[in-house]
Structure 1
Amino acid sequence: MKHFAPRRRVWARWALWIGLAGGMPWAAQAESLQCQSGSVGVGDTMATVALRCGQPTATGAYCAPVEIQWIDRPHNAPYGRWLAPCQPVDEWIYDRGVGYLPARLQFRGGRLWSLVYGQSVP
């Protein structure tokens, strides 16, 4: 019996990896939001999202800092990093109704950058 125990562990690991790899395509499809006039996903423009999903329940905007780091720091750059000018971020919240988590969409450069379900507005 002891001879078969290591083989079971190996097969269990392979089964786990195959199961995780098989689940990847479905996880990628979760990066979309189903609306009245179709679905939207990461990379869509603000106009496309507004056209397909209508007006959001709440909106907000802020400027997210962008930190740039160098492997080889340029002359006179302290610690090898500096803060670049901030990047504007627009946030839209869609309340999807009773029994559904709210959808929080973040746009950078006019395109959908992030889509998260269930997080409240900071």
Structure 2
Amino acid sequence: MDNLKDIKPLVAITDNSFTYLLIVLFIALLIALVTGYSGWKKIQLKRRNDKKRIALKILKNLDFNDSKTTAYTFSRYASALVNDGNVIEFEQINTALLAYKYKEKVEQLEQDLIEQIKGFVDV
């Protein structure tokens, strides 16, 4: 038994696999978030353009013979087309159309108001 060698103490082996797992999960989560956000933005942009396209189509087909329906339809759908450049024009047309909204019987739209509406829609 004298030929037996001494038993050496245990050696600590560093295991970084948990750290590597956390790093990989963080990167995967980051990629998933970026992909989800870009997809969401694409859907929002498409939906916004669809609203504008639908509003423009409806406004181009307005029937100016029925002034009450024209007033309500313009107020509802023209707000989708408003931007910084034409907000004042929209406000002017909208306030001029108030006279045609809340009465039981209304006259025909004035010709200059019809031209303003057509100009707003064509821009």
TM-score by length of 1: 0.35
Larger Rg: 2
Whose relative contact order is higher, 1 or 2, with alpha carbons under 8 Å and at least 6 apart?
A: 2
Higher strand fraction (1 or 2): 1
Q: Which has the higher helix share?
A: 2
Q: When the two structures are superposed, what TM-score results if normalisation uses the length of structure 2?
A: 0.35
